[in-house]
A and B are shown apart, each in its own frame.
Chain A
Amino acid sequence: MQKNLNKEILGKVVFLTGNADVAAELPYVPARVPFEDRVVSFLNGVSRELMSDREAKAYSDVITFAFWIRNSSMLKLKERFEKTDSVVRLGKGVAFHIAPSNVPVNFAYSLAAGLITGNANVVRVPSKDFPQVGILARAFNKVLQEFIDMKPYVLLVRYRRDKDINDLFSSVADTRIVWGGDATIAELRRSALLPRSGEITFADRYSFAVIDSDSYMEIYEKEKIADDFYNDTYFTDQNACTSPRVIIWIGSRIQEAKKNFWTILHGLVEKKYSFQPIQGVNKLISAYLISALQPGCRIEPHTDNLIVRVNIPQITGELMELKDDSGYFFEYDCSDIMDIKKLCDDKRCQTVAYIGDKSTVLPLIKAGVKGIDRVVPVGKTMDFDLIWDGYNLPALLTRTVIFA
C-alpha cells in the first residue's frame, strides 16, 4: 500500500474543494462501480445547483456542462457504456487531471468523466482566474456538504507549475489525464507513474470542416448554421483543438454557398466577437506568409479584419504549420475528397465538422489515415462525450474484472 502523501508538498497546493488531509488519504479511497447511482445523484445535484445559480446563467459554457451532468444525460451514457457480459467493471482508482490553462470549464468535464467511471479525482484547475472556475467550485462544494461520502472523490486544486506537486499526485495516480497540449504533456512526462498506471494525453490537434455546397444551399435556416459555426470557431477564438481551420468545399454550388456562408457569418461576428487589434496584424502576417511560400494562394478580398480567408491551390502536408486563429480560414475547392488525404493522414488531425452527408469522409478513414478521431455536424465540434479525441474514456478509466 502507498504511504501517505507528503504534507509539506501538499502545503503548496490551494484546494478549491477538499483539503490536504483529504488529499493525503487518496491512496486509500475505494474505487466505485461506473455509473453508480450515488455518483449520478451527486452530479445531478451539482447540475441543479448550477442551474439555479444566478451568476452561472451568464456563462453558456457552465450551463452546457450543467446539462451534460444531469440525471437523464448520465443515464443515457450509462446505457451506452454499461456492458452486461460476465465481467465486473470498477474505476481504476485515482485519476489525476491536468486541465488546460485557457479553457474555463474543461476541468469540470474531465472531473465528471473521472467521477462517473468510479474514480477518486485530483483535478488541477486553470491557473487563470476564470469566474466559471469559482462558480463550479462553489456548486461542487455545496453539494459535497450533502454527499459527505463523495468528498474523497472530488479534489479541485490549483498550483503554479511545480514538479514536486506533479510528482506527488502522479505517484498515486492510476490514470493521469493531461490536457493542455504537447508542452504540458512533456512537462508531466517528467513525473513518473506507477507501473500499472496509464495516461490519457490530449495533445495539440487541429480540425477542419467539409461543407457540401449543394446541401448548404438547400438549408433554409442559414442563420442557424452561422450560429453553429460561430460556436465551433470564434467562441474559442478558433483556437480549440476542435476549431475548424480549413474549410473544404465540395459539390456544385461552391461559389454561391461561400458567398452566403461568409456574409451571414460576418454579420454574426460583427455583433458577437470582441476583436483585439493585434489579431488583425497576426492574420495579415499568416495570410502573407503562406502566400509568399506557396504559389497560387489567393487572399479573399475582405472589407475588414474579422474574417480572413486564404484560398489554397492544393492541400500540402505543411499546411497546418501555417494555421492561425481568431477568424483565419484556409479554403479549398475540392472535387475529389481524396485530395485532402494529406490533411487527414497526420496524427494531429482530430475533428471533421460537416454540412451535408458524413459518408463523404468515409473513404478517407478507410484509406487508413493516421488522423480523424471525430466526424460531427457543424455546431457539435465542442460537444463533450466520453469518447473524445479518439479515446474511449470509460474503457481507459476502468478496470475490467473477469467474473466467470
Chain B
Amino acid sequence: MTFEEILRLPPYSLPREEKEKLLTKRLKELTVMHRENCPEYARILESIGFDVTEVGSYTELPFLPVRMFKEMELRSVPKEEVVKTMTSSGTTGQAVSRIYLDCTTSSNQQKTMVKIVNDFTGSSRMPMIIIDCPSVVKNRVMFSARGAGILGFSIFGAEKMYALDDNMKLDVEGLGEFLDKYKDQRILLFGFTFMIWQHFYEELLRLKEQGTVFNLSNGILIHGGGWKKLVSKAVSCEEFHKRLEEACGLRSIHDYYGMAEQTGCIYMECECGHLHASNFSDVIVRRPIDFAECKIGETGIVQVVSTIPESYPGHSLLTEDEGVILGEDDCPCGRKGKYFKINGRLKNAEIRGCSDTYAEKFK
C-alpha cells in the first residue's frame, strides 16, 4: 500500500473497522521496511523475537519510546538521501531528537498537514499572522520544532506577517496595518500556546486598557506546543479561549497536538474541544503497568502511530504524555476516528539511591 492511496481519502472519513484495516496494512509494511533498512531497528525487533506474520492489528506492533531518537541515530535511508534533519525542542542542555527526512517523507508530511488543516480552514489560502519572531525560522539546515511548525503552517498563508520582533515585542503598528489591509477577510493566526499568551494576549490586554483594541473576530487561530507553562500560570484551555475572545474577539481557536518525531500527523482540536486522529494516524492509550490498551475513558500513556515515516522508524512511538481516549467515530463535530485529551507529561521518577547525580539527570 502506498501513502498516495491514503492521501486520496478525506482526512476524517474512515470508521473504525476500515481504518483499522488500512492502518494495519500500512503500518505492518512500514515495520518490515524499517527492519530491512535500519539495522538498529532490526536488532530491536530481533531482541523481542518479533514476527510480523503474527500481527493481527496495528495495535500489536512494537512501539519505540520517543526518547530513543534522543539517545541514538535511527535512520532508514542512506545519509545522502536525507534532505532535512528535524530536531525536537529540547530545553538547553538536554539531548535533542534527530529525525532524518528524505524527500518522500518530508513531502508526505506536508501533504498530510494540508489535508488535515484544510478540513478546519477550507482550502483557500488566507492572510496569515505568525505570532512569533522571524529569527526562529532562519536556520534552515537544523529545524527546531518551533521553526518547523511555523514553516509547516506557513503554506496556509497567502500574505504573512510576524507579529513579534526578535525581542519578542508585539509589532503594534505592523499588526494594525495588516488588519486594516485585510479587514474583510478571514485571517489565519498561528503560534505556540505559551507565546500567544505571554507575548500576544497579555500585550493586547495592556493595549486594550490603554484604549487600543484589535478586532480579530474574523480570525482563526491554530496553536500548539502544550500547556505545561500555562498550567503554572493557572490558565486552563477554557480560560484561554474566553480571555482571547474578550481581548480581541477571536472565537475560532484550535489547539493541536503533535511532535517533531511525527511531523505532519497533527491532531487538531475540533469545534467541540476534542483532539482528533485523522485517517493518517492514530492514538492508542496504554496502561503504564503492562502497556495493555486502555479502555475509552481510562487514562494512560499515549502511543502514536503514523502512516508517514519512511525515512526513519518512527511510525509507532510511545510518548511520555498522559492522555485519555474520549470516544471513537461519534464526536458531535461529525469527524470519524478517535478523539482524545492530553493531560500533560508523565511525572519524572522519584527514586532512591546513593548517587546524587541521578536527580540532576531529570531536572
Contacts and interface: CB of A to CB of B under 8 A. Distances in A.
Contacts of B301: 277, 280-281
B140 interface: no
A310 B43 CA distance: 13
Interface in A294-327: 294-295, 297-299, 301, 303-306, 310, 325-326
B346 to A, nearest CB: 5
Contacts of B48: 291, 299, 301
Contacts of A284: 65, 318
A277 B347 contact: yes
Contacts of A281: 65, 67, 288, 301, 318, 320, 346
Interface string B339-356: 000000011111111111
Given A276-B349, A277-B346, A204 B318 contact: no
Contacts of B350: 276
B47 A287 contact: yes
A61 B7 CA distance: 61
B353 A280 contact: no
B358 interface: yes
Nearest to B362: A278
A282 B318 CA distance: 11
A287 B291 CA distance: 15
Nearest to A298: B47
A102 B71 contact: no
A278 B354 contact: no
Contacts of B354: 100, 102-103, 106, 179-181, 202, 205, 239-242
Interface in B310-363: 318, 320, 322, 346-360
Interface string A241-256: 1110000000000000
Interface residues of B, number: 38
B72 interface: yes
Contacts of B291: 280, 305
Interface string A27-55: 00000000000000000000000000000
A293 interface: yes
B44 A183 contact: no
Chain A CB within 10 A, most for which of B49, B346, B356: B356
Interface of A is mostly: loop
B289 A278 contact: no
B103 interface: no
Contacts of A215: none
Contact of B289 (A181, A202, A305): A305
Nearest to B346: A278
B64 interface: yes
Interface string B285-301: 00011110000000001
B40 interface: yes
B276 to A, nearest CB: 25
A367 interface: no
Given A291-B43, A291-B44, A279 B355 contact: no
Contact of A239 (B71, B346, B348, B352): B352
B81 interface: no
Given A278-B320, A289-B68, A240 B353 contact: yes
A180 B47 CA distance: 35
Given A202-B354, A281-B318, A303 B290 contact: yes
Contacts of A71: none
B347 A278 contact: yes
Interface string A98-130: 001111001000000000000000000000000
B320 A181 contact: no
Contacts of B355: 100, 180-183, 204, 239, 241
A279 B352 CA distance: 13
A73 to B, nearest CB: 23
B41 interface: yes
Contacts of B322: 277
A278 B348 contact: yes
Interface string A341-364: 000000000000000000000000
Interface of A: 100-103, 106, 179-184, 202, 204-205, 236-237, 239-243, 275-282, 284-285, 287-289, 291-295, 297-299, 301, 303-306, 310, 325-326
**Shortest 6 CB-CB contacts between residues of A and residues of B:** A239-B353, A181-B355, A277-B288, A291-B47, A237-B351, A304-B290
8 contacts: A239-B351, A240-B354, A287-B47, A288-B47, A289-B72, A291-B43, A301-B49, A310-B47
Given A240-B352, A281-B65, 4 more contacts: A179-B354, A281-B346, A285-B65, A305-B290
